[in-house]
Structure 1
Amino acid sequence: MTQPTPAKDQAVKTVNPMLKSVLEFGPIAAFFAAYILLKDEVFIVGGNSYDGFIAVTAGFIPLLVLSTLILWRLTGHLSTMQIFTLVLVVFFGGLTVWLNDDRFFKMKPTLLYLFFGGALGFGLLRGTSYLATLMDSALSLTHEGWMILTRRLMFFFFGLAALNEVMWRGFSEETWVYFKTFGLTAAIFIFFMTQAKLFQAHALQEEGDQDSKAS
């Protein structure tokens, strides 16, 4: 008698979806709200003056660390993107506060998207889709479908990296904060919405559907 194979996501614990969303998006919402309230303020610490953006960044770093640790504690799992995002926020956010220079934090999305775009591109060169490994539990696509989606997402990430550079270098700080909070999130949502035809054309059929067609 063969033993049942455990599901690959079995180690991931079930968490209330509302709580999960609060832990994932709460720090970003808090950053935006705090920036709107404190953007015109100046804080004197140790004889040095810090504007509102620097102060809000200083508060955002431990908040993100705490929310990520709680999420890991509750689910027993963190995605590659969550881990890499946390590392970049701590590193570049820390440089921003330490050097009192907001450029480091504004560059963080550029490096994040370049990393993921480059990782996807490296996988494509090897004839595989790292995206399939990350999202296989959420989507069931053929190999060709995964390769097409990965290629599109790679160029999309590179485009977001370039767009972030344009926004923080060419526009006001407040405009960039709005772009970072709402624009990037909306862009990713719209990207996946526009892939509906790809999902339909390359969806893997369930065994039950195949049996019914065969009969």
Structure 2
Amino acid sequence: MTDTTKKLTTEQKEEPFLKLAFELGPLMVFFFANFRGEWLMNTFPALSVFGTPLLVATALFMIATVISLIGSRIVLGNIPLMPLVSGAVVMVFGALSIWLQDETFIKMKPTIVNGLFAAVLLGGLVFGRSLLGYVFHSAFRLDDEGWRKLTFRWGLFFVFLAVLNEVVWRNFSADFWVNFKVWGTMPITIAFTLFQMPLINRHTVNPAEEEAEES
């Protein structure tokens, strides 16, 4: 194996971990800032201007999100679509929460983001387009049926996450919602992703066969 090949292999292995770090970083900031909100406001009185511990956490979450997106652009050379959309919604709803001193907006952010993704994916299928393939084409090579099934499943999963977020924030405390957002949503998403592997394996297209069909 040449040095160039080794370098590419190392980069391919590191990239998913870097992406995960950039996505989890702001969530960790959000969790710990909310957990230590009172201490932060007592230690840094200027933060009291935001109002409640959750709104302090929201402000720091917004800053961490911007830093994460910039870091992703610098280190990875691009900003993935989902974190970009999520980051934009964080900015809008976080700003509304702080400006109006209403925690409802930031709590609704996951509902809006997941609902938007669901609408795009399921709406694309209505018009005969498996849009998930445009996002993950570099990671997987699936046949048309595979992309349709995977897009449909992810669309329904985003609907599930949107509904679940509404149930949690409307029926439980703010602290419980933050804990669920950080420690609940990610494991659920990882578990769902793993359950899709049999479908992906069944519909994976061999690159050699794909080239033969195109020629």
Answer yes or no: same fold by TM over 0.5: yes
State the match for 1:33 in structure 2.
32
Structural mapping, 1:40-51, within 5 Å: 50-51=51-52
- 1:33 is aligned with what amino acid? F
Contact 2:66 2:87 in 1 (8 A): yes
- Structure 1: gaps spanning 5 or more residues: 1-12
State the match for 1:64 in structure 2.
65
CA–CA distance in structure 2, aligned partners of residues 175 and 169 of structure 1:
11
State the match for 2:22 in structure 1.
23
Alpha-carbon distance change, 182 to 128 in structure 1, aligned in 2, over 3 angstroms: same
- Structure 2: gaps spanning 5 or more residues: 1-10
1:114-149 deviation digits (Å, cap 9, x = unpaired): 100000011101111110010011111111001001
Structural mapping, 1:1-215, within 5 Å: 17=15, 19-38=18-37, 50-207=51-208
Question: Identity over aligned residues, as a percent?
Answer: 33
Contact 1:120 1:154 in 2 (8 A): yes
- 1:196 is aligned with what amino acid? M
CA–CA distance in structure 2, aligned partners of residues 81 and 132 of structure 1:
14
Aligned Cα root-mean-square deviation (Å): 2.7
Contact 2:29 2:60 in 1 (8 A): no
State the match for 1:5 in structure 2.
none
- After superposing the two structures, state which structure 1 stretch, 48-57 or 98-107, moved more: 48-57
Contact 2:25 2:64 in 1 (8 A): no
Contact 1:124 1:147 in 2 (8 A): yes
- Give runs of ≥4 in structure 1 deviating > 2 Å: 13-24, 39-49, 73-76, 208-211
1:156-209 deviation digits (Å, cap 9, x = unpaired): 101110110000001111111111002111111111111122112111123289
Q: Give the TM-score taking structure 1 as reference length.
A: 0.83
CA–CA distance in structure 2, aligned partners of residues 29 and 46 of structure 1:
18
